[in-house]
Structure 1
């Protein structure tokens, strides 16, 4: 398959998901990504055995979706950046790289000697990438942030997803929800920086914050707020459908599952929808027989639709809606998404073998080139490639042994 990043070398000093997810995307696009992990502890995400109340590691296996997903396709080097003996190794890796990526906070970057000026002193042409919670300027530039705080809570997503009067804040829909979106954003920034370097010879510093990604995701409402000079109003939502359109909104089936209608222009679909649900007379009902009347009486129409859709189970409605041209969607849980026929038909669920040779599957990165799905692969075992990567840089077996004895590498 065509991999546009083939030949690009990325050096990653990052933990958890936000910046590592960018490395995973770049690896699926063909880049050679070397991940530096702490020589003793490794990436902190390796130590998470349970997440959101469920097991994060497959029993009897090294496979951990929360680690393998943002670290797929990389090579792992165990390097003790805090030790003087490791400095020469780090500098050799920097010299051999096109891109350096980190999500370490400024004090840690300064302590480890991996700040912009440190890295550029070694390789002036390298693209330097910083992922942060709240950006590189301002009073909070030294403050850490996870996606649940910087992306979800601070950037408007949580407030927007929480209904008025709720007794608890809406949680993120999934773990690493903002981290993965941020990682894709970083990957796009890296691609642009590489293009610019190729075209102009000038290198770049790429900065992406979780707050910025979250604000971008929420910009529809945030931009309205800035225009209005305050938070836009949230009119009371009807129980079914929307205030002006019964063909927009969620409806419950008889087995307590959901369908989501999104026909923002109801006129072209109203007659066909009424036939589909077995109520053709609604299309000529004097309350709903024009688009204007349908919008004026949306609440009444929504109540009728809700009653009808509540009479049959989810699977029956899915079969009934097949081939219907109006925009709608089934509301799927994680298992439903994993088995979504469109995702699988388009190669967006990829299979691979884990370190023990067991067949696994993960979601592939969503960008495809020339109609070819990305090749999904496992993440590296801790320090799995230290000897291999350093041997490629010219390190002898004797020198590798000396560095191991000194505690510089694993």
Structure 2
């Protein structure tokens, strides 16, 4: 069992100070990752709070327990409320930034300029500051001041929605909640590590830009790179791939199993035996990958019939010894019970304000075999203002003076 000291040493951002002025999920989730990995993240919010706090929780059936829309991007932080439209509020922010290592923001350029929190403004008090901008569309071009949630800037604009919507679909495929926000936040966290590494080695700091559009394009990189040479590829017929054993099959109880046997000839004979259909090995339509490609619809139809004969639990038992890659399509609730999730510590345990236990997903990094664990739930709005100001060395009289000047809203 590792000691607390050893676990602390496994947090690579221990001792790193982060100031965050960002809303919604994309950039704040990067702050949560840094916090899970040891950073002290101070979330500076306007007196009305991050608008994410007001986002209705559609992922729970009622209003009890934690709100995942708030917890995922904001756990592990401290919250300070500042009215940056006042000179006093901005002065307190500059005090915070003066000793920080990293500044995270999702604010658009026009708003940053209006509030006096752009690169040059903050570097004037801290030349070593790593300044990180998360945006929808990038830091240049005519859309720099256009907002962009991930469903618009990444899911739609990268080609992902077009790619995933099948030829016969009546409606577009719905994006999972905050899907590209969370991919982008992971990218930001990695970029912060690179910037801090460069600063440590060379003394040079950095302005880091990560956009949702670029994040979505990176995820669809192979299709985008091939597009000028392949032309306008028809949208996928997901039920008739060229390799029938890299496909999805419905079970008797309406669940789905994904076969991922990319080396088709290597696994076909074994699969036929596991499925108790040895006669398919000698079927001239399916003798090799080329034949199965030619007769892919017939092959899929045969496999559809076979998988429809048993329930998912029965197939789990039948396929347990199969050497090819396969997996059932799990529900989000079932992910909590996956043996690999449990054994590798991919979920962190927290407790909501009302005492309800809940879990958040750990960042996809581990150091020295130790999972990155969430240390606290998302803070209440402004809950840490007094503590953070004391940490800046401000006495009660100074804080009262700032309050009288409207610094805290």
CA distance in structure 2 between the partners assigned to 1:209 and 1:280 by the alignment: 51
Q: SS at the partner of 1:101?
A: strand
Separation of aligned partners in 1, 2:37 and 2:146: 32
Residues 235 and 72 of structure 1: is their aligned pair in 2 closer, same or farther, counting only changes over 3 Å? closer
Task: Please name the residue that 1:35 is paired with.
Answer: 43
Cα contact 1:49–1:57 (8 A) shared by 2:
no
Structure 1 CA distance, aligned partners of 2:129 and 2:121? 11
Give how far 1:134 is off.
0.5
CA offset at residue 238 of structure 1? 7.0
Asked if the contact 1:368/1:374 (under 8 Å) is kept, the reply is yes
CA shift, 1:10, in A, is 0.6
Match 1:129 to one of 129, 132, 139:
132
Q: Which residue of 2 aligns with 1:297?
A: 295
Q: TM-score, normalised by structure 1?
A: 0.93
Displacement, 1:197?
0.4
Gaps of 5+ in 1: none
- 1:308 maps to 2:331: no
The residue that corresponds to 2:391 in the other structure is: 392
Alignment of 1:197-346 (within 5 A): 197-228=199-230, 230-231=231-232, 233-234=233-234, 237=237, 239-240=239-240, 242-243=241-242, 245-346=243-344
**Residue pairs, 1:115-154, within 5 angstroms:** 115-154=118-157
In structure 2, the partner of 1:114 is 117
* Aligned match for 1:48, one of 42, 49, 55: 55
The alpha-carbon deviation at position 381 of structure 1 amounts to 1.2
Give the secondary-structure state (helix, strand or coil) at the position aligned to 2:32.
helix
User: 1:182 touches 1:210 (CA, 8 Å); kept in 2?
Assistant: yes
Cα distance between partner residues in 1 of 2:394 and 2:137: 39
2: CA distance, partners of 1:259 / 1:188: 33
* 3-state SS of paired residue (2:398): helix
Question: Is contact 2:165-2:236 (8 Å) kept?
Answer: no
How many residues are treated as equivalent by the alignment?
A: 400
Query: After alignment, is 255-264 or 143-152 more displaced?
Result: 255-264
Instruction: Measure, in 2, the Cα distance between the counterparts of 1:112 and 1:236.
Output: 47
Deviations 1:264-311 (A, max 9, x none): 111221122112111122113333334443343333222111101011
Contact residue 131 and residue 206 of structure 2 kept, 8 A: yes
Distance 1:296 1:196, change over 3 A: same
In structure 2, what is the equivalent of residue 383 of structure 1? Answer: 382
Quick check: 1:14 aligned with 2:22? yes
Q: Contact 1:9 / 1:96 at 8 angstroms: preserved in 2?
A: yes
Which residue matches 1:100? 103
1:179-226 Cα deviation digits (max 9, x unpaired): 000100001111000000001100000001100101111111000013
Any conservation in 2 of the 1:49–1:55 contact (CA below 8 Å)?
no
| 3-state SS of 1:269 partner | helix
Deviation at 1:236, TM superposition (A): 6.5
Contact 1:248–1:263 (8 Å) recurs in 2? yes
Aligned-pair Cα RMSD in Å = 1.8
Deviation, 1:375, is 1.1
TM-score, normalised relative to structure 2: 0.93
Residues of 1 paired with 2:235 and 2:39: CA distance? 48
Return the offset for 1:235.
Answer: 7.3
Q: Is the alpha carbon distance of 1:396 and 1:338 closer, same or farther for their aligned partners in structure 2, counting shifts above 3 Å?
A: same
Moved more, 91-100 or 289-298: 289-298
The CA distance in 2 between the partners of 1:235 and 1:372, in whole Å, is 42
Structure 2 counterpart of 1:23, from 31, 36, 43 = 31
* CA distance in structure 2 between the partners assigned to 1:133 and 1:196 by the alignment: 26
Match of 2:183 among 181, 188, 191: 181
Q: 1:208 to 1:378 in 2, by over 3 A?
A: same
